[in-house]
Each structure stands twice: as C-alpha cells, then as structure tokens.
C-alpha cells in the first residue's frame, strides 16, 4: 500500500439491464469489479449481465464499507437508496417541507 495514497474501499450498487434488479457489494477496485460483473466473471451476477453502476460510496476503512453494504441491503437502506436515486421525489418532498405549494410549485 502506498503511504501517500490511501486505499479506498467502495460500497457499490449496480442495476441489471436484463431484469432490473439491484446488486450491492464491496470492493477495493471498483473499475475491475464492475468490469467483472459485466463480463460475467462474478458468480452471483453472471446470468444478469449487463449492468449499470447506479451508486457508490468510498470508505477508508474496510469494516465501514462492509457495514454500509449491510445497511444498504436492509429495508431502511433500500428506502435510503430509493430517495437518493429519485431526484423528483426529493424535490417534491423538499417543496412540501418548505410549504412552497402556495407559490406555484
């Protein structure tokens, strides 16, 4: 490991273009891992290729990345992703929270 450049661990979510389902995982090399998914080299996803990378987070600690993966696989984590990945829903929620409906939103 290079002492100047930290080793990052990535928690990522990919979406199958074939069946529309998500896969959540952790890796230290997101480019190589994503290519592996799309090339059918990952057992858990090889029949669901091709994929789109829809979300990722970087962590400096491996345990944090795995903890985040576990969270994103829970019901609350899936809800969190749904909110983060749907900007229209976020906008409507913010408008409602700020009570901007009266000004034409």
pLDDT higher than threshold 50 for residue 71: yes
Give the Cα separation of 12 and 89 in Å (integer).
22
Residue whose structure tokens are 């090399």: 29
pLDDT confidence tier of residue 104, bands split at 50, 70 and 90: low
Domains and CATH numbers, the chain: 9-103 (3.40.1440)
Q: Tens digits of per-residue pLDDT, 51-68? A: 999 999 999 999 999 999
Give bridge partners of residue 59 from the DSSP assignment.
Answer: 9
pLDDT higher than threshold 70 for residue 105: no
Give the Cα separation of 101 and 104 in Å (integer).
6
Helix axes 75-85, 62-72, angle to 10 degrees: 90
């Amino acid at each position: 490991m290079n002492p100047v450049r930290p080793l990052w661990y990535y928690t990522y979510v990919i979406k199958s273009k074939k069946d529309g389902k998500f896969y959540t995982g952790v890796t230290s090399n997101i480019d190589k891992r994503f290519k592996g998914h799309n090339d059918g080299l990952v057992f858990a996803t090889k029949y669901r290729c091709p994929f789109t990378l829809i979300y990722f987070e970087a962590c400096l600690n491996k345990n944090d990345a795995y903890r985040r993966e576990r969270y994103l696989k829970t019901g609350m984590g899936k809800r969190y992703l749904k909110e983060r990945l749907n900007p229209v829903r976020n906008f409507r929620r913010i408008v409602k929270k700020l009570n901007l409906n009266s000004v034409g939103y």
